């Protein structure tokens, strides 16, 4: 009887462990909004491995007025936006931003439908980034 109880408790612990792992993995979403602080951490984490692409989806005029260092500009409102997305590597990690986070959220949804694997939206956009005194 004791052997059965021991086996049952091990099975219970393994089941609970697997459940916790599942919940943790499910909480890591490859398409999500992140704060400027989280975005800064993401940028620093991938600074040297050439995996992260900063994608500014504002107009060229807005981009010229100031953007994150090293960002690529693809205007969400341009008629060829979807076609230009097809030129990008879908296996890379993307941090998408605009001025307030609305256009970049739309861009993230389009990217998800086009098969991109991992895209983050800068919540609050460049406005919030600058309000927190983060460098461009």
For residue 89, what is the DSSP state?
-
Whether 98 is catalytic is yes
Question: Is the distance from CB of 17 to CB of 24 less than 8 angstroms?
Answer: no
CA-CA distance, 33 to 114, in Å (whole number)? 18
55, 57, 95, 98: the catalytic one is 98
Element (H, E) at 54: strand 52-56
Q: Is 100 in contact with 125 (CB distance < 8 Å)? A: yes
CA dihedral (86, 87, 90, 95) positive or negative: negative
Active site positions, annotated: 98
């Amino acid at each position: 009887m004791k052997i059965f109880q021991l086996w049952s408790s091990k099975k219970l612990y393994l089941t609970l462990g697997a459940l916790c792992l599942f919940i943790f993995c499910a909480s890591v979403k490859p398409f999500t909004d992140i704060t400027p602080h989280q975005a800064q951490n993401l940028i620093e984490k991938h600074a040297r491995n050439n995996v992260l692409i900063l994608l500014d989806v504002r107009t060229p005029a807005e981009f010229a007025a100031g953007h994150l260092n090293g960002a690529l500009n693809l205007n969400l409102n341009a008629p060829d936006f979807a076609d230009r997305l097809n030129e990008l590597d879908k296996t890379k990690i993307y941090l998408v931003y605009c001025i307030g986070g609305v256009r970049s959220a739309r861009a993230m949804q389009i990217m998800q439908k086009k098969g991109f694997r991992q895209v983050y939206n800068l919540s609050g956009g460049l406005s919030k980034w600058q309000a927190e005194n983060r460098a461009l």
